[in-house]
Structure 1
């Protein structure tokens, strides 16, 4: 039964001559003249497809070419740049950023006290990202550092600290504290003149410390 049913399937031709298409009749695609045109003594015409594209054989050849490893003869990899005369290869990683940049900022021991509240706030925000159980404890530590410092001797680091603490408390859903800290950070920044162009130059060694200069600019 299955063999009988399968034998009734008709083969679909991959081409259809123009005459058969115009008459909406089935074309068997026989070349040079199909059965319909032969029986009616018609001229068989076939218009090639205008869609373009590659044949299956051409596609297979292209895939095979892509799978073959490309030749590197005469091409120098960018990783070899370190071997060129007068060139030093550098690799930037998150750990190198922390090691190089923050070691540079903290090298001045006189500023360590100024930066402690800011560093504490960074630990607090990091604990929020990491979903650490210490987030509450670290947040309280920031609050105590800010309270201890007060606003008697404000500095840019304190403005940065209170700005970041405002963001952290906002994430925690404490909107009142967030708004209060944002207002405090803005007041310190305006009082110091951080919105003025010359402030960045004057507080970054006349621009000789580009890391600090950019930090002050982006804070405002």
Structure 2
């Protein structure tokens, strides 16, 4: 409220005030995620240090993209048996240059309705986040492949449970189609009578099943 009142000198319209609130909420979200990351990084590092007290630590800058723009922090890594261990990244299930799952959901949602080029425009407009077209394509296709794989596994699982049958019985819901009275050999579901200029017209609906 203080932010809106501080800018009330040039915010005369409701939509301008709303845009200002969205901008500040996005900034607050970025700050909260950054603070959360710094807190969890320290906690995860201390836990890992207990298991590897002799390991050397090095700092690496890391970032990921979220619906609140880029989140950046300094992550301490441990060298264990010739391998680099990143306690925060492993615990948080996020790695450098990753896209957060909520952000991926929005990208896939936009990609399902429009081209990948349009996805970048919509993400910039609605979330003020710059998403390369190639990244939007890779993310959408990745989830599409996973959905196809899960569908195939689900079908295979059902077939294994039911077994092979000699006959498949299926049903498709019908649709209500308006027709004239002289086509009333079908099952009549509903009828309506209309009058226009003294002339009557009757309409009926029958169930058309495949």
Q: TM-score range by the shorter chain?
A: under 0.3
Q: TM-score normalized by structure 1?
A: 0.24
Select the structure that is richer in strand.
2
Which is greater in Rg?
A: 1
Kindly indicate whether structure 1 or structure 2 has the higher relative contact order, using CA contacts under 8 Å at least 6 residues apart. 2
